[in-house]
Amino acid sequence: MFPLTKESKCVARLLLNTGTCPRCIFRFCGVDFHAPYKLPYKELLSELQKFLETEKDELILEVMNPPPKKIRLQELEDSVDNLSQNGAGRISVSQDGSIASKNSNLNVCNICLGILQEFCEKDFVKKVCQKVEASGFEFTSLVFSVSFPAQLSVREHAAWLLVKQEMGKQSLSLGRDDIVQLKEAYKWITHPLFSEELGVPIDGKSLFEVSVVFAHPETVEDCHFLAAKCPDCFKPAKNKQSVFTRMAVMKALNKIKEEDFLKQFPCPPNSPKATCTVLEIECAHGAVFVAGRYNKYSRNLPQTPWIIDGERKLESSVEELISDHLLTVFKAESFNFSSSGREDVDVRTLGNGRPFAIELVNPHRVHFTSQEIKELQQKINNSSNKIQVRDLQLVTREAIGHMKEGEEEKTKTYSALIWTNKVIQKKDIEFLNDIKDLKIDQKTPLRVLHRRPLAVRARVIHSMESHYVDEHHFRLRLKTQAGTYIKEFVHGDFGRTKPNIGSLMNVTADILELDVESVDVDWPPALED
Amino acid sequence: MATDSEAAEPAVPSLVDRYFTRWYKADVKGKSCEDHCILQHSNRICVITLAESHPVLQSGKTIKSISYQISTNCSRLQNKVSGKFKRGAQFLTELAPLCKIYCSDGEEYTVSSCVRGRLMEVNENILHKPSILQEKPSTEGYIAVVLPKFEESKSITEGLLTQKQYEEVMVKRINATTATS
């Protein structure tokens, strides 16, 4: 059943005669259910023409001859001008005298510029899907995002004013909300087509996004008059090429007075010569997160690549040894590595290891069984003896918060090998075991002062345990507050960490070796092997 | 300390040995033997200290007091530095005075920066206990910390002596003294 009622005839005729496509006509006549839009274009056009023909007044027209006087002259001339401007087809007279352009189905709609004509039909969707399939992404749902040229809003606005005026003649009103939005109608038609072609549902929450961007270079300047009328709506933004964004244009259209608009922009909008072009068809997958804990067994490995002036100072890094494998398997574009604190190049991380999380950007492969993840962990562990990984698992973005929380709040335990200039006996280090919750003040260590603000940090050494080695050496296990500089607590950093082991023992002390024994964060959840 | 100038390296390289390069300036501001030692960290930060040949560090000298008030309007203690880029720091040239050391024998010594850069901090520990300066001149008894400009980090050492050059200067000085005595 044809969705338009008798009341809409005048509006429909007006729009068709001024170069508007059937689907846009439906939109302006408030057709708000999906089925009519999904019908094939040709069918819609012929049904529409049939619908409009059942008027009693007949129109007889011959292009080159002056029109008979009984025809409403102005309307006819306008529509003739419009149709001939399209450049396609001639005016022809059909048997019952209605005006129809011979090749009217080739005319580009003056409102949607072709979006609701060829660009929502199966052939176009197939073309997009071919690109999606060629891109090699693994997905079980998708979100489809489409971007239209900003000038469409201007044409929409003009059409609304036109229709509003026409309906006003019948004492009917037309609010902006009575019109079906272009994007909405577009999605009604295309979503099922995408779903069918790719075999997955459309889901607004999907991480996999297919985006299509349309442009219409011919009418780019349609918006420019708005900048003159409402200059404060158009502020140049650094990242955007054009100041005429959809948002800015919409804002200006809401502001501008009807009379001013009509002075500057043709109403009805004129028909374009060409249809829209597709600027880009892109696919991207939202980031996925992999977490785990790492042990570091090398005293010659930085956490992140150490490169100065383009020259790599030390081979490899913790980050690369773990992430490179993940990058490959997830077929991701890039990664971001973060961890719950970090250790120096020459410090080992023992015990349960340090929590880390890796964000894999635009991964092409995202589904892994826990068995596959276990195998991936094994692969990483087999590839290097400098690091080992455990509890490798997929996590959500929200979970990363737990890790950073650990950095500020949780305790860490360390083991240090300490040298003293003076000779020591076992009894000289026993007192350290009894010191609990020792408060220390640490000025920013000289070794990081070039890149950190100068400040004094109050920290707590919760407990210590000393083990005698020989006259000049002992091992010290310490449990400290997060953010404590252990090396500086041992050697005193020119007296800028007070108290320090040297001052407590009244010797000159230095640190020879440091190991992280545990990072007391209970995330990510431990996995059974 | 090793008595033999050619002694084997100490068993354990000290903190200073591991992270810093020693640079020297002899007879600073033309004053005989007022030698300074600048410890330059691999990250370009400089710690200003007295060289072991400085009069203040010779036996028999007692420090009465140390003052960071180098002029009526300027006290190095008022130096305030904020943020990662160390804004607000007093800017020092090579000859800028850092502090004055007053000794019990009436002698007065001025310690100079010897390098251009922003003053990070002066050592307040030696204010309260001046003897630290004499006991541990290369570590706890440091005078000040200076951050040179990034572009100048290499060039600041151009006017300074390396360890070897300093030792040669010391030898010449001793020979000169021996010759005249």
In chain B, which residues have their Cβ closer than 8 Å to the Cβ of A491?
15
Flag if B140 and A451 touch (Cβ within 8 Å): no
pLDDT of B181 reads 58
Taking CA atoms, what residue in B is nearest to A473? B12
pLDDT of A7 reads 83
Residue pair A364/A138 in contact by the 8 Å Cβ criterion: yes
* Best mutation target, B140, B149, B151, to test chain A (most A CBs within 10 A): B140
CA distance B47 to chain A (A): 9
Flag if A495 and B125 touch (Cβ within 8 Å): yes
Residue pair B137/B109 in contact by the 8 Å Cβ criterion: no
The verdict on whether A346 is a catalytic residue reads no
Nearest to B15 among A449, A452, A491 (CB): A491
pLDDT (mean) for A381-403: 91
Which residue segments constitute the domains of chain A, with CATH numbers given?
A: 6-55+107-222+265-284 (no CATH), 288-409 (3.30.70.2510), 412-519 (3.30.70.3190)
Q: Hey, is A98 helix, strand or coil?
A: coil
Residue pair A345/A337 in contact by the 8 Å Cβ criterion: no
Q: Hey, is B100 helix, strand or coil?
A: strand
DSSP string, A168-215: HHTT----GGGSPPHHHHHHHHHHHHHHHHHTS-B-TT-SEEEEEEEE
Give Cα A520 distance to the centre of its chain: 34
Catalytic residue among A32, A78, A324, A344: A344
Mean pLDDT computed over every residue of chain A = 87
Q: Does A409 or A442 have the greater pLDDT score?
A: A442
What pLDDT digit, counting tens, does each position of A206-252 carry? 999 999 999 999 888 888 888 888 888 787 776 666 788 888 888 88
Flag if A449 and B125 touch (Cβ within 8 Å): no
Taking CA atoms, what residue in B is nearest to A497? B140
Query: Residue B118 is part of a domain; what is its CATH number?
Result: 2.40.50.100
Residue A445, preceding peptide bond in cis (omega within 30° of 0):
no
- β pairing state of A387-395 and A288-296: antiparallel
CA distance A445 to B120: 12
Q: Which of A120-124, A386-390, A493-497, B10-14 has the lowest mean pLDDT?
A: B10-14
pLDDT band at A529 (very low <50, low <70, confident <90, very high): low
A518 DSSP assignment = E
Partners of A388 in the β-ladder: A295
In chain A, which residues have their Cβ closer than 8 Å to the Cβ of B41?
446-447
Do the domain assignments include residue B61? Answer: yes
pLDDT of B11 reads 63
In chain B, which residues have their Cβ closer than 8 Å to the Cβ of A494?
47, 123, 139-140, 142
* Best mutation target, A417, A449, A511, to test chain B (most B CBs within 10 A): A449
Q: Does A72 or B31 have the greater pLDDT score?
A: B31
CA distance A359 to A319: 12
pLDDT (mean) for A412-427: 96
Cβ neighbors of B148 (< 8 A, separation 6 or more) are: B44, B46, B115, B116, B117, B118, B156
What pLDDT digit, counting tens, does each position of A495-520 carry? 999 999 999 999 999 999 999 999 98
With 0-12 / 13-18 / 19 or more C-beta atoms within 10 angstroms meaning exposed / middle / buried, residue A109 is buried
pLDDT of B84 reads 85
Nearest to B12 among A419, A449, A494 (CB): A419
Cβ neighbors of A97 (< 8 A, separation 6 or more) are: A58, A59, A60, A61
Flag if B86 and A454 touch (Cβ within 8 Å): yes
What angle do helix axes A318-330 and A370-383 make, rounded to 10 degrees?
140
* Helix, strand, coil percent values for chain B (each to nearest 5): 25, 30, 45
Do the domain assignments include residue B104? Answer: yes
Residue with the two structure tokens 């545990």: A518
Task: Give backbone dihedrals phi and psi of A479, rounded to 5 degrees, phi first.
Answer: -115, 120
pLDDT at A425 over 70: yes
DSSP string, A458-507: EEEEEEEEEEEEETTEEEEEEEE-TT--HHHHHH-TTTTEES-HHHHHTS
pLDDT at A87 over 70: no
Flag if A449 and B44 touch (Cβ within 8 Å): no
Flag if B84 and A419 touch (Cβ within 8 Å): no
pLDDT of A64 reads 31
Flag if A449 and B132 touch (Cβ within 8 Å): no
Do the domain assignments include residue B23? Answer: yes
Tokens describing residue A114: 């072709």
DSSP string, A371-431: HHHHHHHHHHHHH-SSEEEEEEEEE-GGGHHHHHHHHHH--EEEEEEEEESS---HHHHHH
Do the domain assignments include residue B2? Answer: no
Mean pLDDT computed over every residue of chain B = 89
Flag if A449 and B81 touch (Cβ within 8 Å): no
Task: Give backbone dihedrals phi and psi of A456, rounded to 5 degrees, phi first.
Answer: -110, 130
What pLDDT digit, counting tens, does each position of A105-149 carry? 458 999 999 999 999 999 999 999 999 999 999 999 999 999 999
Residue pair A494/A485 in contact by the 8 Å Cβ criterion: no
Q: How many domains does chain B have?
A: 1
Q: How many residue contacts between A and B have a Cβ separation below 8 Å?
A: 53
* Helix, strand, coil percent values for chain A (each to nearest 5): 40, 25, 40
Task: Give backbone dihedrals phi and psi of B63, rounded to 5 degrees, phi first.
Answer: -90, 130
In chain A, which residues have their Cβ closer than 8 Å to the Cβ of B140?
492, 494-495
What angle do helix axes A122-134 and A182-198 make, rounded to 10 degrees?
60
pLDDT of A408 reads 72
In chain B, which residues have their Cβ closer than 8 Å to the Cβ of A489?
none
pLDDT at A83 over 60: no
Instruction: List Cβ<8 Å contacts ≥24 apart for B156-160.
Output: B156/B46, B156/B115, B156/B116, B156/B117, B157/B23, B157/B38, B157/B40, B159/B25, B159/B94, B160/B23, B160/B24, B160/B25, B160/B38, B160/B114, B160/B115
Q: Produce one character per residue of A383-411: b if its CB has 16 or more CB atoms within 10 Å, e if not.
A: ebebbbbbbbbbbeeebbebbbebbeebb
> Which phi-psi region, left, alpha or beta, contains residue A176 (left: φ > 0; alpha: ψ -120 to 50)?
alpha
Do the domain assignments include residue B32? Answer: yes
Tokens describing residue A32: 């708000």
Flag if A494 and B12 touch (Cβ within 8 Å): no
Nearest to A450 among B19, B45, B125 (CB): B45
pLDDT of A268 reads 87
Flag if B147 and A512 touch (Cβ within 8 Å): no
pLDDT (mean) for A271-283: 92
Q: Which of A7-11, A282-286, B42-46 has the lowest mean pLDDT?
A: A7-11
pLDDT at A46 over 70: yes
Residue pair A473/A423 in contact by the 8 Å Cβ criterion: no
pLDDT (mean) for B85-93: 90
CA distance A404 to chain B (A): 22
Angle (nearest 5°) at CA B47 between A500 and A450: 85
Q: Which of A68-82, A456-470, B128-142 has the lowest mean pLDDT?
A: A68-82
**Range(s) of the domain holding residue B67:** 18-171
What pLDDT digit, counting tens, does each position of A146-178 carry? 999 999 999 999 999 999 988 888 888 888 888
Do the domain assignments include residue B33? Answer: yes
The tally of CA atoms less than 13 A away on the side-chain side of residue A74 is 0
| H helix or E strand, kind and range, residue A328 | helix A318-330
Nearest to A446 among B47, B81, B86 (CB): B47
CA distance B54 to chain A (A): 20
DSSP string, A240-283: -S-S--HHHHHHHHHHS-HHHHHHHS-SSPPPPSS--EEEEEEE
Partners of A480 in the β-ladder: A412, A461
pLDDT band at A55 (very low <50, low <70, confident <90, very high): low
In chain A, which residues have their Cβ closer than 8 Å to the Cβ of B19?
447
Flag if A512 and B121 touch (Cβ within 8 Å): no
Taking CA atoms, what residue in B is nearest to A491? B15
Do the domain assignments include residue B43? Answer: yes
pTM of the entire predicted model: 0.79
pLDDT of A60 reads 35
- β pairing state of A347-361 and A387-395: unpaired
CA distance A509 to chain B (A): 9
Cβ neighbors of A392 (< 8 A, separation 6 or more) are: A290, A291, A292, A373, A374, A376, A377, A380, A527
CA distance B151 to chain A (A): 13
Tokens describing residue A306: 């150490």
Do the domain assignments include residue B176? Answer: no
pLDDT band at A91 (very low <50, low <70, confident <90, very high): very low
pLDDT band at A323 (very low <50, low <70, confident <90, very high): very high
| H helix or E strand, kind and range, residue A358 | strand A347-361
